[in-house]
A and B are shown apart, each in its own frame.
Chain A
Amino acid sequence: MSSTRLLFVLSLCTQTGSFAFAADPMDHFESKVRPVLVKSCQKCHGPEKQRGGLRLDTKAAWQAGGDTGPALVPGKPDESLIIKAIRNPDPKLRMPPNEKLADHEIAALVEWVKDGAVDPRVGVAQIGGMSLDAAKQWWSFQPVKRPVVPEVRNSQTQPRNPIDNFVLAKLSDKGLSLTPPADKRTLLRRVTYDLTGLPPSPADLDAFLNDTSPEAFAKVVDRLLASPQYGERWGRHWLDLVRYADTAGENSDHPLPHAWRYRNWVIEAFNRDLPYDQFLRDQIAGDILWARAEGERRKDEKPRTTILGFDASFMQPPSSFDQRVATGYLAIARRFGHDTDKDMHLTFEDTIDTVGKTLLGLSIGCARCHDHKYDAITAKDYYALYGIFESTRFAFPGCEAKQQPRDLVKLQPLRPELAYAVVEGTAKNAKLQLRGDPEKPGAEVPRRWLEVLGGQTVPANSGSGRLELAGWLTSNANPLTPRVMVNRIWQHHFGKGLVQSPNDFGARGMAPTHPELLDWLSAEFVASGWRIRHFHKLIVLSAAYQQGSESRAEAVKVDVNNNLYWRFDRRRLSGEEIRDSLLAVSGQLDRTPGHEHPFPPEKSWGFTQHAPFNTVYETDRRSVYVISIRNRRHPFLGLFDGADPNATTPQRQVTTVPTQALYFLNDPFFHKQAEKLSASVFAKPEATRLDELFRITLLRPPTAKDRTTADAFLTSYAAQLSEPVADRPKIAWAALTRVLLASNEFLYLD
């Protein structure tokens, strides 16, 4: 953060007027004017509310004025809006509403303005909702400093890497320790779901149990990180954040037949371990970066594909990993209304909102109508970024008024593949929109970076400013980007972030539970070249990650929410994990990557708000490839707390409701998966069936008690059946399979 920039702001904000007054006007203000302002004006024009954008509690505030300009002209009461308002004979227009000031009060205010409106109330220099001092000191704006790794004394656990040093240091301060390590089966289930979203197979478990070398767990981690399922799991986390959907979200919810390329690009980026800073730059400005790189390629490289000696690479299918596709992040912003071109201000708000929350942990979207109430973000910041996106041409998805899509990006000149992406538009600054209303334009705002992070402007003739934005977001001077991301990686391993409000690192968010650890991780992240995979390994190889999940009464007394990580938090599988696990254990999971959805051809489109697009396409592929419809949530993912496709979802809720239980009792998909699994189990010799069923579903042999329960169930269940005697055991086994697939042990990870 640039401190000179902050000082500059400070000096601007503290400049005051230079009227010369005798003591009398000051007394007049204090005795006659200030009480009236406090009593009758500041309730609506003060720190709580700013009706009409106006505050009357500091001199600087009334000088800046509200939506209709400065509140008063010193020396000229008849030209001053405030005086006109209190004198207005029309009770509907008069201020204050529902109350007429007493004549002597009006006279006092008129005299005050006439005498030059002396006002000693110097405001505190502000950026949005924070004083400049508070913003300078706000924890998340501080530069990332790599702290010294604390030494650990008096701990029963030996730290395995610096993460443990930080965690153990805090624990021992409170007289706590880690829970003893989880057993191998528990650990394998935990890490396999965490890294791939799928259950380990019995063969995976056998290999892990048989490997007694000290590197056995690290080998498992490497295997999982190298599997394509890793990108599907971690790509899904990212798709939650960027509110990925396969429809546009406007009134008729038009399909986005090409958005899947962005979805697959995200998955592939994780599988390729694309450095996070590059990952972000591509999503913000991939088209510009691609064009530059293309220029270089043409200069330096020989064409890879030639026909009769001519460059024929333009005839090749496009790479699945094209930087231009990455800007789908911006293009998938939600559309609004009947004719979406008319409501693009809302689409830009949606874009700014996810850029702010997702990449920076800041709710910049809040500053659309007014300066942020709590954070160091101004409406000017909002419109500075708005100008950047308004200077960008977003792909147009089609809407009720204009059915056919346009402005899609052609990836190869002679081929049909299109990307739902963005390109550069006409570069121009935006105007402030008063109260967020595009019909009420205010002053023009230069395109620039957030003031609190430096406020650099987009140079003239450099396009929309997205390339610069990509640079500012990933610059070493911006401490938020690495902090926010390492916190997310931590969160998806431990169930909660070190900052437990992962999308809000501002005043309304939560302070980090381990600030030094967060900074150490952030520094390590950047130093390692923004490598996410390196980070997973660091985390899962720590003792903190590998501890057991048992609760201990003495630890609960000290830290009931486990904010210090004295145990591993048990968690329920996510909706995707539940569905994918059912398909995996039944042997029905199609592990090939999904591509486009079978949408009807564009020429046939005639979607309206009366008859919007809302077809759910079924698939046996992983849930990340299931269609996501904005205006009609997928029934399964809606039921099991899936991501909201309309807004960034930083953390899944976990609700437990009876309608979920009904799913496990009666859903045809669930019954089908159970039947497939039970058929394969039933094919085994009777003596090994129960072991087989437990191995596949729970990855352990049945206990003696499990056997008793299962045997009793099979016997009494078969006795209830009216089907032919020969079929009864098979039906009973299918029922037992359903029971295990509905069990808490299957659904929860220790």
Chain B
Amino acid sequence: MRNPLNLSRRGFVQSAVAGSMLMPGILSELLAADSADPLAPRASHFPGKAKAVIFLFMSGGVSHVDSFDPKPKLTTDHGKQVTFDHPETKNRPGYEKLFLKKPNWKFAPRGKSGTEISDLFPKLAEQADEIALIRSMHTSHSNHYNATLGMHTGSFTVARPSIGSWMSYGLGTENRNLPSFLVLSPQMPYAGTQVWASDFLPGAHQGTRVVPGAEPVANLKRRVPTEKRQELELNALKAFNEGHLATRTDESQLAARIKSFETAAGMQSEMPAALDLSKESDDTLGLYGLKRGQADGFGWQCLVARRLVERGVRFVELIHTGSSNNWDSHGNMADHGRLAKEVDQPIAGLLQDLKRQKLFDDVLVVWTTEFGRTPFNNTADNPGREHHNWAFSSWLAGAGVKRGIVHGSTDEHGMKPVEKPVHVHDFHATILHLMGLNHEKLTYRHAGRDYRLTDVEGVLVKEVLS
């Protein structure tokens, strides 16, 4: 079978070298697996269906009962009083009484699969036949900070390595001119940089943040005015470093640092190339809802993500939006409508584009949020919804994932999973599996203990695997 990612990786390495006087010898170094290099490609535990992940994270908590989890009973029972020992309303003044609250958006069966999705995501709904929707997600904390940390690291309290770092550690990366793990996050998320930190894993596995604007990655932009000047500096540096190395044998560290400058120079050209959308057709830009020349917004994030996985980046996370002005619609659920407009077309476009580019069989797309929102509130007329960690919806699509299925369900009001509950740890185990990694075997010895992304939990959700 054709393997576009591996082919493109070789192609890109070669093209990065071609026409450059900077990097004699880099080709063989890049194409040879270097065991001392933490980012060298590593064999998976078993052949994985996916080669790369695009992780779409909706920050703030997307309401499941308004989007992917239809609850007609919530409409008919609107205003009915309910009693729950709920973490967000317990002992909270003004929340002594709770009332069910109907969804703001209408649901309808979509595509051949008939999966019900609401009008909140009309474009995405057209892609219903491509996704494996999980309606029985649940998580261990109802605070943004903790739940966001949990969704990224499997730990709800202390910092641990991020899922992207685990992936980078487990598999290395295909293109050494780009970091293995990139995070497109215009704003800082809840829990800050811990979301993409490598923590105790080697620093090479930490996520590199990309922001829209003049300098998407720190220090990426050449500061000396011309390429030729930088080339002279790099050549002189190499000459001094090689002179230094000549009298010091057996020093892989010194050699590795010499190499890192060659890679950095490659990155300096390849990263802007990956971010340069000027060669994309109008048709493609349109899929993502982008205007020509536009270099921000979630459409930009999605299209850049496609271009990054195409170039061999292992894990690309897109955060919408950050720790404020996000999906946390306490005040008014109508805000979900505004936010959905920002992501609906881009995500639908991404799925279509991946298929067009024949990447859909190589790339796993994950859509999630940190928790759902309460199917109730302290009055039925309260226009907002609170945090709800008992149940929420997420979906997977692409490599190794069944198309057009629904997995698990919640009760009649969307309060709790009733069928096949999927905890965050299970979700992580499944994502790792799709990449060819066994979550119980992907371990790192730290402070005398073998740590895992899934801690001591995690059950693979086999039903979503194709």
Q: Give the interface of A toward B (CB within 8 A).
A: 251, 253, 334, 336-338, 343, 346, 350, 357, 363, 366, 374-375, 501, 503-504, 506-509, 549-551, 556, 570, 572, 609-612, 614, 631-633, 635, 638-639, 641, 644, 646-647, 653-668, 671, 703, 705-706, 709-710, 713, 716-717, 720-721, 735-736, 738-740, 742-745, 747-748, 750
Tell whether, in the assembled complex, residue B449 and residue A366 are in contact, meaning their CB atoms are under 8 Å apart: yes
Residue numbers in A under 8 Å from B176 (CB-CB) = 658
* Pairwise interchain contact B243-A706, C-beta atoms closer than 8 A: yes
Given A570-B248, A661-B263, A743 contacting B240 (CB threshold 8 A) = yes
- Mark each residue of chain B from 209 to 232: 1 if its CB lies under 8 Å from any CB of chain A, else 0: 000000001111111101011101
Using known A-B contacts A665-B222, A717-B229, A744-B241, determine if residue A736 contacts B236 with beta carbons closer than 8 Å.
Answer: yes
- Give B188 Cβ to nearest chain A Cβ, in Å: 7
B447–A504 CB distance below 8 A? yes
* Interface hits, B236-285 → A, CB 8 Å: 236-237, 239-241, 243-245, 248-251, 253-254, 256-258, 260-261, 263-268
Q: Is the CB of A614 within 8 A of B244?
A: no
- Tell me, yes or no, whether B179 is within 8 Å of chain A by CB: yes
Contact A713 B236 (CB under 8 A): yes
Asked whether any CB of chain A lies closer than 8 Å to the CB of B288, the reply is: no
**A635 in complex: contacting residue of B202, B218, B445, CB < 8 Å:** B218
Cβ–Cβ contact B249 & A654, under 8 A: no
Residues of A within 8 A of B191 (CB): 251, 631
Q: Is B38 an interface residue (CB 8 A)?
A: yes
Q: Is the CB of A633 within 8 A of B232?
A: no
List, in ascending order, chain A residues with CB within 8 A of B230's CB: 665
Q: What residues of chain A lie closer than 8 Å to B268, measured between beta carbons?
A: 662, 665
Contact, CB under 8 Å: B38 / A609 = no
Smallest Cβ distance from B397 to chain A, in angstroms?
A: 30
The interface residues of chain B lying within 8 Å CB-to-CB of A338 are 143, 145
Task: Evaluate whether A735 and B264 lie within 8 angstroms (CB atoms) in the complex, with A631-B194, A657-B203, A747-B257 already known.
Answer: no
Are the CB atoms of B223 and A668 closer together than 8 Å? yes
B14 at interface by CB-CB < 8 Å: no
6 A-B pairs in the complex with CB atoms less than 8 angstroms apart: A337-B143, A609-B323, A638-B193, A720-B232, A744-B241, A748-B254
A564 to chain B, nearest CB (A): 16
User: Which partner residue on chain A sits nearest B237 by CB separation?
Assistant: A739
Residue on B nearest A338 in the bound complex, by CB? B143
Binary CB contact string for chain B from 119 to 162 against chain A (1 if under 8 A, 0 otherwise): 00000000000000000000000011110000000000111000
A550 to B251, CA, bound (A): 10
Interface size on B, residues (CB 8 A): 73
- With known contacts A503-B447, A611-B324, A632-B188, A658–B267 Cβ distance under 8 A: yes
Closest chain B residue to A641 by CB distance?
B203
Task: Say if the beta carbon of B197 comes within 8 Å of chain A.
Answer: yes
A661 near B261 with CB under 8 A, answer yes
**CA–CA, A744 and B243, complex, Å:** 10
Chain B residues with Cβ under 8 A from A750's Cβ?
248
What residues of chain A lie closer than 8 Å to B159, measured between beta carbons? 644, 646-647
Contact of B260 among A336, A556, A658 (CB under 8 A): A658
How far, in angstroms, from A614 to B323 measured CA to CA in the complex?
A: 13
Other A-B contacts than A338-B145, A659-B179, A713-B236, 6 sampled, CB-CB below 8 A, are A609-B190, A658-B263, A662-B268, A663-B219, A744-B245, A744-B254
**Contact partners of B224 in chain A: CB under 8 A:** 735
Alpha-carbon distance A70/B352, docked complex (angstroms): 59
Q: How far is the CA of A336 from the CA of B233 in the complex (A)?
A: 47
Q: Does B31 contact A (CB under 8 A)?
A: no
Residues of A within 8 A of B229 (CB): 717, 720-721, 735
Please give, as numbers and ranges, the residues of chain A lying within 8 Å of B221 by CB-CB distance. Answer: 666
Query: Which chain A residues lie closer than 8 Å to B157 at the CB level?
Result: 336, 343, 346
Q: A346-B157, A503-B447 are in contact. Are A745 and B244 (CB under 8 A)?
A: yes
Contacts of A662 in B (CB 8 A): 217-220, 264, 267-268
* A508-B446 Cα distance, complex, nearest whole Å: 10
Q: Is the CB of A743 within 8 A of B241?
A: yes
User: Complex: how many Å from CA A668 to CA B223?
Assistant: 8
A637–B229 Cα gap in the complex (Å)?
Answer: 28
A738–B240 Cα distance when bound, in Å, is 12
A-B contact count (CB 8 A): 209
A residues in contact with B226, CB < 8 Å: 720
In angstroms, Cα B215 to Cα A635, docked, is 15
Taking a contact as CB atoms under 8 Å apart, the answer to whether A357 and B447 are in contact is yes
Given A612-B192, A632-B192, A713-B236; A655-B202 close (CB under 8 Å): yes
- The chain B residues found within 8 Å of chain A, CB to CB, are 38-39, 143-146, 157-159, 176, 179, 188, 190-194, 197, 199-200, 202-204, 206, 208, 217-224, 226, 228-230, 232-237, 239-241, 243-245, 248-251, 253-254, 256-258, 260-261, 263-268, 323-324, 328, 445, 447-449
Contacts A363-B448, A638-B206; A556 near B323 (Cβ below 8 A): no
Q: Which residues of A contact B449 (CB under 8 A)?
A: 363, 366, 508
Complex CA distance for A111 and B9, rounded to whole angstroms: 67
**8 cross-chain pairs, A with B, having the tightest CB-CB distances, nearest first:** A508-B448, A661-B264, A631-B192, A251-B145, A551-B250, A655-B203, A658-B263, A658-B264
| Residue of A631, A633, A671 most packed against chain B (CB within 10 A) | A631
Kindly list chain B residues whose C-beta atoms are within 8 Å of the C-beta of A363: 447-449
- Which chain A positions have C-beta within 8 A of B266? 658
Query: Across the interface, do A656 and B257 meet the contact criterion of CB distance under 8 Å?
Result: yes
Picked from A253, A671, A720, the residue with its CB within 8 Å of the CB of B228 is A720
Inter-chain contact B232/A713, CB cutoff 8 Å: yes
Given A644-B199, A662-B220, verify A253-B192 contact (CB < 8 Å). yes
- A706 and B240: CB pair below 8 A? yes
Residues of A within 8 A of B239 (CB): 709
Complex CA gap A176/B157 in Å reads: 49
C-alpha spacing A665/B256, complex, angstroms: 16
Residues of B near A713 (CB, < 8 A) are 232, 235-236
Measured CA separation A655–B192 after assembly (Å):
22
CB nearest neighbor in A for B448? A508
Most buried by B among A343, A366, A662, A748: A662
Residues of B within 8 Å of A661, CB to CB, are: 257, 260-261, 263-264
Q: Which residues of B contact A646 (CB under 8 A)?
A: 158-159, 194
* A516–B11 alpha-carbon span in the complex (Å): 57
For residue A717, which residues in chain B have a CB less than 8 angstroms away from its CB? 229, 232-233
Say yes or no: A659 contacts B208, CB within 8 Å. Answer: yes
- Nearest CB of chain A from residue B30's CB, rounded to whole Å: 12
- Which A residues lie within 8 Å of B243 (CB)? 703, 705-706, 709
The reply to whether A716 and B260 form a contact with Cβ atoms under 8 Å apart is no
The interface residues of chain B lying within 8 Å CB-to-CB of A668 are 223
Most interface-central of B38, B218, B226 (chain A CB within 10 A): B218
Give every chain B residue within 8 A of A509 (Cβ-Cβ): 448
Measured between beta carbons, the chain B residues less than 8 angstroms from A644 are 159, 199-200
Pair A609/B144 contact, Cβ less than 8 Å: yes
Q: Chain B contacts of A665 at CB under 8 A?
A: 219, 222-223, 230, 233-234, 261, 264-265, 268
A581 to chain B, nearest CB (A): 16
Contacts of B199 in A (CB 8 A): 644
Q: Please measure, in the bound complex, the distance between the C-alpha atom of A748 and the C-alpha atom of B251, giving whole angstroms.
A: 11
In the assembled complex, how far is the CB of residue B152 from the closest CB belonging to chain A, in whole angstroms?
13
Residue of B nearest to A668 (CB): B223
Q: What CA separation (Å) do A539 and B348 show in the bound complex?
A: 65
Complex contacts, B267 vs chain A, CB 8 Å: 658-659, 662
CA distance A666 to B158 in the complex (A): 34
For A738, the chain B residues whose CB sits under 8 A away are 233
Give the distance to chain A from B59, nearest Cβ to Cβ, in Å.
10
A504 CA / B323 CA spacing, docked (Å): 37
Q: Which residue of B lies closest to A507 (CB)?
A: B448
From A350, A556, A659, B250 is in contact (CB under 8 Å) with A556
Residues A743 and B244 in contact, CB atoms below 8 Å apart:
yes
Which of A501, A503, A609 lies in contact with B145, CB distance below 8 A?
A: A609
Q: How long is the Cα–Cα vector from A154 to B292 in the complex, in angstroms? A: 78
Query: Which listed residue (B144, B219, B223, B260) contacts A657, Cβ 8 A?
Result: B260
A659 to B263, CA, bound (A): 9
Q: Are B222 and A666 in contact, with the CB atoms below 8 A?
A: yes
